[in-house]
Structure 1
Amino acid sequence: MVGTGEPVMGSRRLAGLLASPEGPGPAYRHWAEAIGALILDGRVGLHVRLPAERELAAALGTSRTTVTAVYDLLRANGFARSRRGAGTWTALPEGRAPRAVRRLLGSDEAAIDLARAAPGIPEDVLAEALALAGPRLAEHARTPGYHPFGLPELRALVAERFTARGLATTPEQVLITSGAQHALTLVLGLLAGPGDRVMVENPSYPNALEAIRRARLRTVSVPVTDEGWDVEIVESTLRQVVPQLAYLIPDFHNPTGCLMPPEERARVLAAAARSGTWLVVDETMAELALDVAAPPPMASMAGAGQVVTIGSMSKTHWGGLRVGWVRASARLVRELAAQRVAVDMGGSVLDQLVALALLERSGGSLAERLSVLRERRAVLMAALGEQVPGWTWRVPPGGLSLWVDVGAPVASVLAERALGRGVRIESGGCFGTDPGVFEQRLRVPFSLPGEVLREAVQRLAGVLDGGAVVSAADRRVHWIA
């Protein structure tokens, strides 16, 4: 049961998320549907107390009667619950899943999945790793099996890999986590508190943005375009806002694929040091260098700066392992481990032993994976060029996806109609820090086999032919209202 101690959504903040009603129908219905969508998207959290009717009416410039009708419809549809004299709280309707959950599960397992930019793992590679992990698991069976810092041998190997990349690291500076998302959640919980400002890129990784919102942190965004970062904006944001923390993906940025140049990294690090901001650097894509040399860790340039690096096996090996890590000072790792035991006490020993086996043999296998990704990227670009020549993109030097401009603000509609043709894909809006942005963009991964990518693009082209006015010359999209 919710109570008066729950978080409160300010009236001006909620009004800022709601666009002016457009199209047929009463205004209260448009606003109720918009609030429901914000709850499903995670932009308005669950069990958050909504503003008083009079306050929201003033912020929206409408009557209290209209807001009363909004709340009535939210309650009727299961998006809100009220208690007399205490207020109204957000809720999730029976049978509805938040977008963050739907993104992972999918509503149609038979559909081609372009919503998740993550590779599978060859069966023989996984079988070999399991065979190597078996004897080691028997040795661990005599122990209680709790390792809040992670298996010592895995911590040592991750530390060696950082050192080999140019960042001297000891095992005491590594915490093994249940994936990069778990790592980020632990870091947010330790280094920031409700109401603190966090600088994020726009666009950025949706699940990271979701974690930041659920920690009740206030985001301040800096743009990442096809050309990369505007470092002057980053510097001025750090100087003027002085955020407690900044979350960055400088290595083959998700979703744009951009790689931050060394000189820009140095400027960002210096600006963060001046403002006292913790930098959380997401390296989950760092090894996926397709056209350039893999970059050294950003923290290797930091000196004594406040830099935390997170990484995982999900993008380079297999997301099903749920193995990630934090690289930070030994003191901070101890504090993170103390916070971690309140959640899961330690990760799966078997998963960590499999991860250990995969990392031990990853030198040769990484080159093979990168070669496969280059081939799949080429197949995807060729298929897009043939089927939808009006779409444009920059070729990313690494990563797992293209950040495609479809030529018109129709990405959400296109993604919705694509599901009816058996393709799951995320619109660019899922990667934005604010509603309604990046509607001209689709993130199109190239992690699937070539023949599957060709079929997916053909189906997407069919969506355009079937639901839009399309120029026969170049398939530029002009949607019917």
Structure 2
Amino acid sequence: MRFSADHLARMLLGSGARSGPLHRRLSEGLRELIDLGEIPPDALLPSERALAVALAVSRTTVVAAYQTLHHEGKLVRRQGSGTRVSSSGRPAQRETVSASALRGDHAGAQFLNGPVPTLVPTLDFSTAALPCLRLVPEVAATLTMSEYAELGTSYHGYQPRGLPALRESIAATYTRGGVPTTPDQILVTSGAQQALELITHGCLQPGDSVVAEAPTYRGALEAFSLANCRIRSVPCDDNGMDVDRLDELVRERLPRLIYVQSTVQNPTGAVLAYGRRCRLARLAERRQVVVVDDTALAGTLIEGSPPIPLAGLTKTERLLTIGSMSKLFWGGLRLGWIRGAPEVISRLARMKGITDLGTSLVSQLIAVHLLDRVEEAQAIRRQELAGGLADLTALLSEYLPDWTWRTPRGGASLWVRIPTDSVTNFAHVALRFGVAILPGTAFSPGGVADDHTRLPYAVPRSALVAGVQRLARAWEVYAEGHRDVPVVAVTT
């Protein structure tokens, strides 16, 4: 197995120490990835020169790190054969799933092992998770002992389809929004990510073709990669997915599945325009293709009225809608759902039953009461996100005037273009100044968009100010072409 310099650079953003000499930090990061199995035995590492460019360090730094691990027996170096991870007496791992989707560079990587040890307080701008809405503990605290007791006595605890009361509440929410829905059209899942995984495994086989926006939600790209699907991309602009280009791709070769985020796209914050929605709905009716409409961010709309859902424009059974409580209320609830035809929902429910027998009933009971206050929650989120967006764009205009962006209509992050051909390189310099960012390649099929990054604004203003100021200092150093910049003491 061969690791490219850019791929390894992305993996190293979340590994190793963040203090001390750069060669030691690099060797510790590589050692950690090797010990965890993220870089398997016999894997071929990139050349010293290529990795130095990707990490924005000198070649001497990479040589020293490789040499340290060679002396420890972690790496094997042979003239003309490159640098490989030592097998250490272990057989090379047989790849049973897509390595590119599992080896360190994935959406859950930053949550798995906790914070990286560091003497410099690092601001994490690599995630766009929203803070818990205050309504969640308020509502949870109002539930009575009798409600919990009834939950325990009425159900054995295993409900793969979901708590009946929650399915009724979700269905009623769709119906009020102009999309008549019955509870048998709803499957409750452990978050929108599980919903996407169930659809992927239920609808796709290895080698199937999938069309997605570029950029798009990285968790979707990883799910499709794990299923060994071929991913083709369609541009996404201010009006959402380019449906004209989508139609061209479909005519060229019919995909098995189309993945779209029609209402608040991640990471751009775009909303699919009405005309495009109608054309996509007609395409779904004409073609034998599954359309997955991921609306996990729909509750974070900042401007404008909620658009007509795709499900309200077509009755095709090949349309599946994903929803979530995570962005509007709190990710810790771990609640999402799939809306679809009853027969499809039944098949997916059987798959879910095999996977986990059902989602937490306690969380679902809280969610039933939260959905009674969904309009209040949306108003709170709208105010918070609008303020954060205004703060971030003002700070970027002041400190980084050559960075550009398109104003999002919703969501918790800004899709920013940086005047460089490698944000992957710049991210390592930014990390030395105490702020972690992700390159745009993480959100794009084929690893393009390395001139973009996603910056969150659903964070305290003090963190936004400090983060942008640190990025400005890092950018000044990077733009001047400096390498081997040590960890910088930060005061903001």
Q: What is the correspondence of 1:374-385 to structure 2 with a 5 Å cutoff?
A: 374-385=386-397
Q: Which residue of 1 aligns with 2:467?
A: 456
Kindly state the Cα deviation for residue 111 of structure 1 after the two structures are TM-superposed: 2.6
> What is the CA deviation profile of residues 24-68 of structure 1, one whole-angstrom value per residue up to 9, with x for unaligned ones?
xxxxxxx55549739959xxx9999999xxxxxxxxxxxxxxxx9
2:143 aligned with 1:133: yes
2:91 aligned with 1:104: no
SS at match of 2:455: strand
Counterpart pick for 1:223 among 210, 235, 238: 235
Kindly state the Cα deviation for residue 227 of structure 1 after the two structures are TM-superposed: 5.8
Kindly state the Cα deviation for residue 272 of structure 1 after the two structures are TM-superposed: 2.8
Q: What is the correspondence of 1:57-136 to structure 2 with a 5 Å cutoff?
A: 73-76=83-86, 81-82=91-92, 97-105=104-112, 107-108=115-116, 110-122=121-133, 124-135=134-145, 136=147
Query: Residues 39 and 88 (structure 1 numbering): CA distance in 2 closer, same or farther, change over 3 Å?
Result: farther
> What is the CA deviation profile of residues 347-403 of structure 1, one whole-angstrom value per residue up to 9, with x for unaligned ones?
111111122222222222321221111011100111111110111111111121111
Quote the Cα distance in structure 2 between the aligned partners of 1:250 and 1:32.
35
Quote the Cα distance in structure 1 between the aligned partners of 2:397 and 2:6.
38
2:454 aligned with 1:439: no
Q: Which residue of 2 aligns with 1:289?
A: 301
Q: Which residue of 2 aligns with 1:37?
A: 8
The TM-score with structure 2 as length reference comes to: 0.77
Q: Which has the higher contact order (CA 8 A, sep 6+)?
A: 2
Identity %: 34
Kindly state the Cα deviation for residue 414 of structure 1 after the two structures are TM-superposed: 2.2
Counting matched residue pairs gives 416
Contact 1:186-1:336 at 8 Å conserved across structures: yes
Q: Which residue of 2 aligns with 1:430?
A: 442
Counterpart pick for 1:405 among 413, 417, 436: 417
Residue segments in structure 1 that go unaligned for 5+ positions in a row? 1-13, 15-30, 52-67, 470-477
Counterpart pick for 1:416 among 425, 428, 440: 428
Contact 1:284-1:312 at 8 Å conserved across structures: yes
Kindly state the Cα deviation for residue 294 of structure 1 after the two structures are TM-superposed: 1.3
Quote the Cα distance in structure 2 between the aligned partners of 1:88 and 1:333.
32
SS at match of 1:338: helix
Quote the Cα distance in structure 1 between the aligned partners of 2:7 and 2:227.
20
Quote the Cα distance in structure 1 between the aligned partners of 2:237 and 2:449.
11
Q: Which residue of 2 aligns with 1:6?
A: none
One-letter code aligned to 1:446: Y
2:285 aligned with 1:273: yes
SS at match of 1:236: helix
Q: What RMSD, in angstroms, separates the aligned Cα atoms of the two structures?
A: 3.2
Quote the Cα distance in structure 1 between the aligned partners of 2:159 and 2:419.
51
Kindly state the Cα deviation for residue 415 of structure 1 after the two structures are TM-superposed: 1.9
One-letter code aligned to 1:229: M
Residue segments in structure 2 that go unaligned for 5+ positions in a row? 13-36, 44-77, 485-492
Q: Which residue of 2 aligns with 1:186?
A: 198
Query: Residues 256 and 91 (structure 1 numbering): CA distance in 2 closer, same or farther, change over 3 Å?
Result: closer
One-letter code aligned to 1:286: A
SS at match of 1:272: helix
2:159 aligned with 1:147: yes
Quote the Cα distance in structure 2 between the aligned partners of 1:212 and 1:153.
32
Kindly state the Cα deviation for residue 417 of structure 1 after the two structures are TM-superposed: 2.2
Kindly state the Cα deviation for residue 234 of structure 1 after the two structures are TM-superposed: 0.5
SS at match of 1:146: coil
The TM-score with structure 1 as length reference comes to: 0.79
2:219 aligned with 1:207: yes
Query: Residues 138 and 265 (structure 1 numbering): CA distance in 2 closer, same or farther, change over 3 Å?
Result: same
One-letter code aligned to 2:111: L
Query: Residues 285 and 88 (structure 1 numbering): CA distance in 2 closer, same or farther, change over 3 Å?
Result: closer
Quote the Cα distance in structure 1 between the aligned partners of 2:344 and 2:104.
35
Counterpart pick for 1:298 among 284, 301, 310: 310
Kindly state the Cα deviation for residue 246 of structure 1 after the two structures are TM-superposed: 0.8
Quote the Cα distance in structure 1 between the aligned partners of 2:85 and 2:245.
42
One-letter code aligned to 2:132: I
Tell me which moved more, 363-372 or 174-183: 363-372
One-letter code aligned to 2:278: A
Contact 1:282-1:311 at 8 Å conserved across structures: yes
2:480 aligned with 1:466: no
Q: Which residue of 1 aligns with 2:341?
A: 329
Tell me which moved more, 314-323 or 415-424: 415-424
Query: Residues 90 and 171 (structure 1 numbering): CA distance in 2 closer, same or farther, change over 3 Å?
Result: closer
Quote the Cα distance in structure 2 between the aligned partners of 1:48 and 1:265.
44
Quote the Cα distance in structure 1 between the aligned partners of 2:396 and 2:298.
26
> What is the CA deviation profile of residues 128-186 of structure 1, one whole-angstrom value per residue up to 9, with x for unaligned ones?
22223343222112231111100011101110111111111001100000000000100
Tell me which moved more, 348-357 or 148-157: 348-357
SS at match of 1:287: helix
Kindly state the Cα deviation for residue 305 of structure 1 after the two structures are TM-superposed: 4.8
Contact 1:81-1:88 at 8 Å conserved across structures: no
Kindly state the Cα deviation for residue 442 of structure 1 after the two structures are TM-superposed: 1.1
Q: Which residue of 1 aligns with 2:377?
A: 365
